Structure 1
Amino acid sequence: YIPSSHWYDYYTGSLIQAKQEFITVNAPLETIPIFLQGGAIIPTQGYASNTKYSRNLIKKDLFDYI
C-alpha cells in the first residue's frame, strides 16, 4: 500500500504517482524495495571505519532534497 503522493524509487530515481493504492513491485531477493516521498529530506552518510570520520562524508545526492 502506498499513500497518495509522488514517490521515487531509491535505486532508479523513477517517479511513481500513487493514489492510495496497493502496488506490485518486481524486485530481486537481494534488493529491498525502497520508495522516497517527494518533498522529503533524506540524510545520508558515507561509510567510514568510525563515526568521527564518517561525519566528514555526508552526501548530497538527488534524494537528499526531494
Structure 2
Amino acid sequence: MFDQNVGRWDQAARITIGLVLLGFALFCPWAASFGAVVTWPSGIIGAVLLFTGLTRRCPAYRLMR
C-alpha cells in the first residue's frame, strides 16, 4: 500500500533521537526553565522523528526523489 523509504539504520536513529528529544522536552527541568522556546521545537521535532521512524515513511525523502 505505502512504500517504506526509511532504511533500518535510519529508522533506529530516528526512533532513538526522537525519544531523546521528547524526553528532553517533557522531563528536563533545564529545558523547562527556558520555556516554550526550547520545549516546543524539541517536542515537535522529536514527535516527527519518532513517527517517521515507527512508520518507516518520510515525506521529505519522497520530495527529494
Instruction: Specify if TM > 0.5.
Output: no
Looking at secondary structure, tell me which structure has more helix per residue.
2
Looking at secondary structure, tell me which structure has more strand per residue.
1
TM-score in terms of structure 2 length: 0.25
